[in-house]
Structure 1
């Protein structure tokens, strides 16, 4: 554990979800594989496209509609719809395929449970602090077992921008009725979590390494208040 700036006057703690409370990569990879199988079964013309074709289309759509960059769900629907249209399906078929494809991906993306160790830590912390989730992803917090752990979970979209934009931090503080400096945010990303929290006037804890991913601290980076190597350290230092 390293302390760069002494945390103080904490009223609530917000947690990033993906790669902070669990290793997100295997669930995303599985969801992508399940989506591909669904598309090949239900829309056989999609077998002509490789993953890079879908990525290329998504990048093009993000250039044309920058607002999609802050809404992972809307971006996936738009990409599926446009891809099916380009492959020769009708507008009605593309609309149906995009909705069913999203449902398939979303189901498998949230088809796991957060570990009992993490849930126990959150229950322990909730005895002293109000807890919320702030994530750039679209995982179903209820399905993965976090429904009772947080007062609420914030996701980007519908005009709310992704971290490091301060939108979700501001919204969390407003809903908790606290000042920004009274919120401590915990996350694995120096940019999205540490920089986002600091720019919003909140305190921050950087989880490093996170599930085997080690980041060095760039000279020009905004410092977290604390750096920890394991989530369990929170119960000791707070």
Structure 2
């Protein structure tokens, strides 16, 4: 544990989810593979495209509609719809397929459980602090075993921009009825989590390296109050 800035009193701990409480890489890979299999089975023209074609279309859509980066579910829905139209399906077929494909992806996106060790840690912390989640991803926190842990979870969309924008931090403070300075945010990203939390007026804990990662990352702009190499070290926050 490295303490760079002495933390002030806090009553809330907010957590990033992906790569902070679990290794998200194999989960996303599984969800992507399941969605591709769904497309191949129900929309066979998708065999004409490689993964690189979908990525190229995604980059084009984000360039044309930058706001999509702040809503991952909507971005994927529009990507699938545009892709299916480009492959020769009608607008009605593409709309139906995009909705079904997104639902298929989201099922596998949350088709896992957070480890028992992490649940035990969070349960212990909950005895002392209010716990919430602030994530740029679209995982269903209730399905993965965190429904009884967090008061609520925020993700981008519906007018809220993704981290490092301050939107979700400000919205969380409003929902909690507490000042931003009383929120201690824990995350693995120097830019999204540390910069985002600090710029919003929250305190920050940087998990470096992130869950499942081996290499240490470099700081971005803002300095984290505390840097941890193991999420279990959060037990030290309990007085």
How far residue 216 of structure 1 moved from its aligned partner, in angstroms, is 3.7
How far residue 213 of structure 1 moved from its aligned partner, in angstroms, is 4.2
Aligned residue for 1:42?
A: 42
Aligned residue for 2:178?
A: 178
Aligned residue for 2:137?
A: 137
How far residue 159 of structure 1 moved from its aligned partner, in angstroms, is 1.3
Aligned residue for 2:95?
A: 95
Query: What RMSD over aligned residues (CA atoms) do the two structures have, in Å?
Result: 0.9
Whole-Å Cα distance in 2 between the matches of residues 215 and 197 of structure 1?
20
1:64-102 per-residue CA deviation (whole Å, 9 max, x = no partner) reads: 111101000000000000000011001110001000000
How far residue 217 of structure 1 moved from its aligned partner, in angstroms, is 3.1
1:154-206 per-residue CA deviation (whole Å, 9 max, x = no partner) reads: 01011100000000000111111111110000000000000000000000000
Whole-Å Cα distance in 2 between the matches of residues 43 and 235 of structure 1?
49
How far residue 138 of structure 1 moved from its aligned partner, in angstroms, is 0.3
Whole-Å Cα distance in 1 between the matches of residues 30 and 231 of structure 2?
25
Whole-Å Cα distance in 1 between the matches of residues 228 and 81 of structure 2?
42
Aligned residue for 1:212?
A: 213
Whole-Å Cα distance in 1 between the matches of residues 213 and 102 of structure 2?
29
Aligned residue for 2:5?
A: 5
Aligned residue for 1:157?
A: 157
User: TM-score if structure 2 supplies the norm length?
Assistant: 0.97
Q: Secondary structure, in 3 states, of the residue corresponding to 2:143?
A: coil
How far residue 209 of structure 1 moved from its aligned partner, in angstroms, is 1.2
Confirm or deny: 8 A CA contact 2:209 2:217 kept in the other structure: no
Aligned residue for 1:237?
A: 237
Q: Secondary structure, in 3 states, of the residue corresponding to 2:146?
A: coil
How far residue 234 of structure 1 moved from its aligned partner, in angstroms, is 0.6
Confirm or deny: 8 A CA contact 2:208 2:227 kept in the other structure: yes
Q: Residue 17 in 1 paired to residue 2 in 2? A: no
Whole-Å Cα distance in 1 between the matches of residues 155 and 221 of structure 2?
25
Whole-Å Cα distance in 2 between the matches of residues 110 and 233 of structure 1?
26
User: TM-score if structure 1 supplies the norm length?
Assistant: 0.98
Residues 109 and 216 of structure 1: CA distance in aligned 2, closer, same or farther (over 3 Å)? closer
Q: Secondary structure, in 3 states, of the residue corresponding to 1:88?
A: coil
Q: How do 1:60-209 and structure 2 match up within 5 A?
A: 60-209=60-209
Q: Secondary structure, in 3 states, of the residue corresponding to 1:184?
A: strand
How far residue 221 of structure 1 moved from its aligned partner, in angstroms, is 2.5
Whole-Å Cα distance in 2 between the matches of residues 166 and 48 of structure 1?
41
How far residue 214 of structure 1 moved from its aligned partner, in angstroms, is 2.6
Q: Residue 30 in 1 paired to residue 30 in 2? A: yes
Q: Secondary structure, in 3 states, of the residue corresponding to 1:214?
A: coil
Gaps of 5+ in 1: none
Counting matched residue pairs gives 237
Whole-Å Cα distance in 2 between the matches of residues 186 and 84 of structure 1?
39
Q: Secondary structure, in 3 states, of the residue corresponding to 1:114?
A: coil
Whole-Å Cα distance in 2 between the matches of residues 214 and 172 of structure 1?
31
Q: Secondary structure, in 3 states, of the residue corresponding to 2:96?
A: helix
Q: Secondary structure, in 3 states, of the residue corresponding to 1:185?
A: strand
